[in-house]
Chains A and B, each alone.
Chain A
Amino acid sequence: MNVLSSAILAAAPEATKVGNPWVNIGIFGLFVGITLIVVLKASSNNKTAADYYAGGRSFTGTQNGTAIAGDYLSAASFLGIVGAIAINGYDGFLYSIGFLVAWLVALLLVAELLRNTGKFTMADVLSFRLKQRPVRIAAAISTLAVCVFYLLAQMAGAGALVSLLLGIDGKLGQSLVIVVVGALMIVYVLIGGMKGTTWVQIIKACLLIAGAFIMTIMVLAAYGFNFSALLGAAVESAGTPEILNPGLQYGKSGTSKLDFISLALALVLGTAGLPHVLMRFYTVPTAKEARRSVVWAIWLIGGFYLFTLVLGYGAGAMIGAEKIKAAPGGVNSAAPLLAFELGGPLLLGLISAVAFATILAVVAGLTITAAASFAHDVYASVIAKGKSTPEKEMKVARRTVVVIGIFAIVGGIGAQGQNVAFLVALAFAVAASANLPTILYSLFWKKFTTQGAVWSMVGGLGSAILLIVFSPVMSGLPTSMIPGADFAVFPLANPGIVSIPLAFALGWLGSVLDKNTEDPVKAAEMEVRSLTGVGAEKAVDH
């Protein structure tokens, strides 16, 4: 993820001269128009909290799975992976595998049990049988932390992306675009709630996957549908067979190899701990539909990453690494340049608009997750101590959306041009360290206690952030956040290899050392509910 997003954010400050920005803006405007109509229609019956946070639990597994794919396939996945494969060859492919395999954790261990046990947020599940206040506060903090890091990276990425795709130049122009993205996102989320956001994701996912599919067919057709011939052309263009072999990017030194293991760990365990992904399991009526969602998402995401393999090598072969690197957007320009090569300004416009829509949709999904967590976990449960009404809670949620939206705009403008790759890496690492151990322990380990949960979440979050602060992404290298300083005592860019095992260990240690016992009745209830779906599926069975 590191390189992918740094690539996006490193997108050059100048505008691309390829294609016609007005075509791009026109197609994007069309997307915004259509989705706004859909959001307005979808929002007409947003009455209860379940409507607002969970789309009334009315989505089918297929719809929700498509929306999950939409949430997951961010601009980094599309532009970043295609670019990474075009330039670094095989090592770019390694990302997509981590991103895909991670879904098995969600499918086998998390999705259905979570759907059966919770209502709206991750904290619902974590605090089910433990003490509400400490666990909810810790879970809300880590949810907000992951969302904010992810959000800032997306917003800052939006500025860089438009400079590449829409030809808007300069800091002022980019800031303006960030304001527009933020304002649009607030409108979507305020009006549409989870239902509207989900429909935006579905539309966007269909466009993205269809666009990638069409381009894949065109690339393969250019080489007589012979994959080996395509690889051969890529090697010829690159001038080295090394792009087919691993190691171009991560094989440089012992440290970089270790860094890759750390990244692989964070990727495979982070996905099932991402709060905006977890929240998607609540938008379906039953656990069986939650399963269907994940299955459908796995097929879509897997298929998409196979397309990017063809597109990446295709861009390498048809455009060439040198030309891609020299283009204004650097690595990220691989997919747009390939689109232009294959289908002229119209295909370029379509792909560009889809990439931009992707940021909008992902930001909306993150915002509603963060707002739900604040209103439901912090406000209703902790501040109002459970004495809030659903109306009051939703009012707080809506206000939180506006606050987060403004924060994202300001933060996004502030983070412009920064190396914000560490934000996304941190989001995955924090999700894997702070959230996943506690989720797995509370679902599968009877003796897990409140102290274990708090230690694991606080320890995982704290160690991940600390290690990032003292890593080369923060200081010590010319590409660091603070290039002048050097306090990088931790050599790896990704903290996962330390913080994830630490969080698991703390969860265990905190539990065995806990003198208080947890309510065995609650534990029994949670286990029976999680496996059978008692109560959670009432509305459907009767």
Chain B
Amino acid sequence: MSTTEESDLGTGIDFTAEQDSEEFTELRKTHRSFVFPMAVIFLLWYFAYVLLADYAHEFMSIKVWGNVNVGLLLGLLQFVSTFGITAAYVSYSNRKLDPKAAAIRKRLEAQAGE
């Protein structure tokens, strides 16, 4: 069913052994220890905001600066946090994930090429 030359590599790789390898376990841990907590945090923060906007009208209507109220400010903070998490993830990936993934990939592809 293969329609391209891509992704056909892998016949020479023992993926099960690789999955259990220390190097890969470490990569998985590095990945999950960032994305899972981060996903939980932003979802909680988003739904906290949604619930406030839905059920705490008085609180959201408090004026903070001129005509800008708490609701608007929290809404803009959702933008800030989204941008912030994005930037943090990129920096984390570049520093921690990419080197580990690239090392394993190079080793496996050398194996498969043999």
Q: CB within 8 Å of B: which residues of A?
A: 48-50, 57, 90, 93-94, 97-98, 100-101, 103-105, 107-109, 119-120, 226-229, 231-232, 235, 244-247, 250-251, 257, 260-261, 264, 268, 288, 291, 294-295, 298-299, 302, 305-306, 376, 380-381, 386, 388, 390, 393, 520-521, 524-525, 527-529, 531-539, 541-542
Instruction: State which size class the interface on B falls in.
Output: 35 or more
B61 to A, closest residue via Cβ: A245
Q: Is the CB of B79 within 8 A of A302?
A: yes
Q: How far is the CB of A254 from chain B (nearest CB, A)?
A: 10
* Interfacial chain B residues near A542, Cβ < 8 Å: 109
Cross-interface CB contact of A538 among B6, B15, B54, B61, cutoff 8 Å: B6
Is the Cβ of B105 less than 8 Å from the Cβ of A268?
no
Q: Chain A residues near B96 (CB, 8 Å)?
A: none
Name the distance in Å between B65's Cβ and chain A's nearest Cβ: 7
Check B33 for interface membership: any CB of A closer than 8 A.
Answer: no
By a beta-carbon cutoff of 8 Å, the part of chain B in contact with chain A is: 1, 3-10, 13, 15-16, 18-19, 24, 27-28, 31, 35, 38-39, 42-43, 46-47, 49-51, 53-55, 57, 60-61, 65-69, 71-72, 75, 78-79, 82-83, 85-86, 89-90, 93, 98, 101, 104-106, 108-109, 112
Residues from chain B with a CB closer than 8 A to the CB of A538 are: 6-7, 9, 109
**Set A97, A393, A527: member contacting B3, Cβ < 8 A:** A393
> B43 contacts A97, CB within 8 Å?
no
16 extra interface residue pairs, beta carbon distance < 8 Å, beyond A90-B71, A532-B24: A49-B4, A101-B42, A108-B35, A119-B3, A227-B66, A231-B67, A247-B57, A260-B54, A268-B46, A298-B86, A527-B19, A534-B10, A534-B112, A537-B105, A541-B106, A541-B109
From known contacts A105-B39, A261-B50, infer whether A536 and B3 are also in contact, taking CB-CB under 8 Å. Answer: no
Q: Establish whether residues B82 and A235, one from each chain, have CB atoms under 8 Å apart when the complex forms.
A: no
Counting chain A CB atoms within 10 Å of each CB, the highest count among B31, B46, B68 belongs to B46
Task: Verify B83–A527 contact, CB threshold 8 A.
Answer: no
Question: 23 A-B pairs, CB-CB below 8 angstroms?
Answer: A90-B71, A90-B75, A104-B38, A119-B4, A229-B67, A235-B67, A244-B67, A246-B53, A246-B54, A260-B54, A261-B54, A264-B50, A298-B86, A305-B79, A525-B10, A529-B15, A532-B101, A533-B105, A534-B13, A535-B112, A537-B105, A538-B7, A542-B109
A241 vs chain B, min Cβ distance (A): 8
**A291 in contact with B90 (CB, 8 Å):** yes
Residues A531 and B46 in contact in the complex (CB < 8 Å), given A105-B39, A244-B61: no
| Complex contacts, B79 vs chain A, CB 8 Å | 97, 100, 302, 305-306
The winner among B1, B43, B106 for most chain A CB atoms within 10 A is B1
Residue of B nearest to A132 (CB): B1
The 8 A-B pairs at the shortest CB distance, nearest first, are namely A228-B66, A231-B67, A386-B1, A535-B9, A525-B15, A524-B19, A245-B61, A524-B15
Residues of A within 8 A of B66 (CB): 226-229, 231-232
Q: Does B67 contact A108, Cβ atoms closer than 8 Å?
A: no
Instruction: Output the residue of A105, A229, A291 with the most chain B CB within 10 A.
Output: A291
Q: Could you say which residues of chain B place their CB within 8 Å of the CB of A232?
A: 66-67
- What is the bound-complex CA distance between A251 and B52, given in angstroms? 12
Q: How far is the CB of A238 from chain B (nearest CB, A)?
A: 12
Bound-complex Cα distance A231 to B55 (A):
23
Residue contact B3 to A246, C-beta cutoff 8 Å = no
Contact B6 A535 (CB under 8 A): yes
Chain B residues with CB below 8 A from A534, complex form: 9-10, 13, 104-105, 108-109, 112
Residue of B24, B47, B101 most packed against chain A (CB within 10 A) = B101
For B90, list chain A residues within 8 Å (CB): 291, 295
Q: Which residues of A contact B61 (CB under 8 A)?
A: 244-246
Please give the distance in Å from B28's CB to the nearest CB on chain A: 6
B15 partner, pick from A105, A120, A388, A528, beta carbons under 8 A: A528
Q: Does the CB pair B24–A531 fall under 8 Å?
A: yes
Shortest A165–chain B CB gap in Å is 29
A295 / chain B contacts, CB cutoff of 8 Å? 86, 90
Best-surrounded residue of A104, A257, A524 (most CB of chain B within 10 A): A104
Q: CA A115 – CA B24 in complex, angstroms?
A: 19
Q: Which residues of A contact B106 (CB under 8 A)?
A: 541
Q: Is the CB of A528 within 8 A of B18?
A: yes
Q: Which of A94, A103, A231 contacts B53 (CB 8 A)?
A: A94
Which residues in B have their C-beta under 8 angstroms from that of A386? Answer: 1
A138 to B27 alpha-carbon distance, docked (Å): 32
Instruction: State A377–B69 Cα separation when bound (angstroms).
Output: 50
Contact residues in A for B98 (Cβ distance below 8 Å): 288
Q: Return chain A residues, CB-CB under 8 Å to B68.
A: 227-228, 231
Min C-beta distance of A384 to chain B, whole Å: 9
- A101–B78 touching, CB < 8 Å: yes
- A541 vs B18: C-alpha distance when bound (angstroms): 20
Q: Which residue of B lies closest to A52 (CB)?
A: B3
